Every structure is written in structure tokens, then in C-alpha cells.
Amino acid sequence: MNHLSNVQRDVLKEIGNIGAGNAATAMAQLIDKKIEMAVPVVNIAAFDEVMDIVGGPETPAAAVLITIDGDVTGKVYFILPIEEAEFIVEQVTGDDNFKLLDNGSAQSMGLSALQEVGNILTGSYLSALSDFTGLNMHPSVPHLGVDMAGAILASGLIDLSQWSDYAIIIDTQIRDKSGINSVQGHFLLLPDPISFNKIFNALGVNDDDE
């Protein structure tokens, strides 16, 4: 699937809106700040372009990944730059000196805090989608990765790479409104290619709508 009609694109944007909107509310409660959400972007991206969404393959990033099972299969990432992940952990745990790239075992509490935040956010993203479409989407346990963006994102492309050299990505950015120490993260939804028709059918969009 390398082409989307305008209607299909709009439907996918709406999905990004609903999922990330729900997650942004959860995030605002967690860190007690107002969270703003950008208009979702629907990308049909070659694999190299996927890495560029978060600053290129070598850029260090923190990500929570869940695999979706059920009527729809695919992946959801909550991915953000290292400093911003550290900021979230500091907000949640009250530890002002948390550094993600240190190897000390004292960091493990911060890491599980980050994993839990990612779990809550991706969970609320997915449950909103599931309610909206009426389709079953079960999240896997969340996986936390802190490493080069390319290494982290490629894992989410393996399944769909057996079908395609492109990923359809619904990218919704959120950031906190204060501007200083702004939290800026991306929700990336990557449905497997076979799941798109199920999503479109569930929402009453036909292939030939333009």
C-alpha cells in the first residue's frame, strides 16, 4: 500500500488525534503541566525517512514500544529525546539528577518510572483507538529502549518489512506549554499493512473514496 486517498489520510489523522489526545491528557496529569498536541502527520515513509522523524538514525532517544495484537496488529512508539525523557523522570520521581545514559544500578528506579509513564501513555493512546474504531487492540507489555533512534525504530519495522519497503506512520507530537524545559515527544503508530483495510472498513471508508 503506497497510496492513500484524501479521505483515508483524514481518517488516519483523526486516529492520531484521538489517540494522542487521550495520551496527552494522561501525560498532563502525570507531570502536572499543560500539554499541547500538534496536528497529526500521516507519512508514507521509506525506512531511512522513518529515522529522520526523530533526528536521524544515530540520534540518541528514549522510546517505549508496545506491540498491538487483536483485530489490528502493529506497533506504537512513544519516543522522545534523551533530555526530555530525563525531564519526565525528574518530574515523576522528584530526582533532579537523573541521567539516562549512566550505567549505575541506582538508575533502575528512574528507568522503571519511565517505562511506567510510557506504558500509561501508549495504553491510553491505544484504548482511545480501540474505542473509536470498535476494533480489538491489545497492547503487549511495554519495552523500554534508550539508544540510537535507528536501532530502536528498526525493531518496529521488522514485521512490516516483510511486506513493504515503506511504513505508513501516524505521527503526533506533544509538548508541554510552558516552553521552558519543554517536553516534546512523538507518538508513532505503525499498523501492519494488512490492518489498514480493517481500520478503514471499521470507520466506513471505502478504497475508492477520493
Q: Kindly list the residues in this chain that would bind another protein in the complex (CB under 8 A).
A: 47-48, 51, 56-58, 60, 65, 67, 69, 101, 103, 140-141, 143, 145-152, 154-155, 157-159, 161-165
With respect to another protein, which residue has the nearer C-beta, 12 or 62?
62
Q: Of all helices (H) and strands (E), which one includes residue 24?
A: helix 6-31
Distance of closest approach, residue 164 Cβ to another protein, in angstroms:
8
Distance of closest approach, residue 46 Cβ to another protein, in angstroms:
8
CA–CA distances in Å: residue 87 to residues 41, 56, 121, 166, 210: 25, 22, 16, 33, 43
Distance of closest approach, residue 143 Cβ to another protein, in angstroms:
4
With respect to another protein, which residue has the nearer C-beta, 6 or 103?
103
With respect to another protein, which residue has the nearer C-beta, 67 or 184?
67
Distance of closest approach, residue 39 Cβ to another protein, in angstroms:
28
Write the CB contacts of 187 (distance below 8 Å, at least 6 apart in sequence). Answer: 16, 19, 20, 23, 76, 77, 78, 121, 122, 125, 170, 171, 172, 173, 174
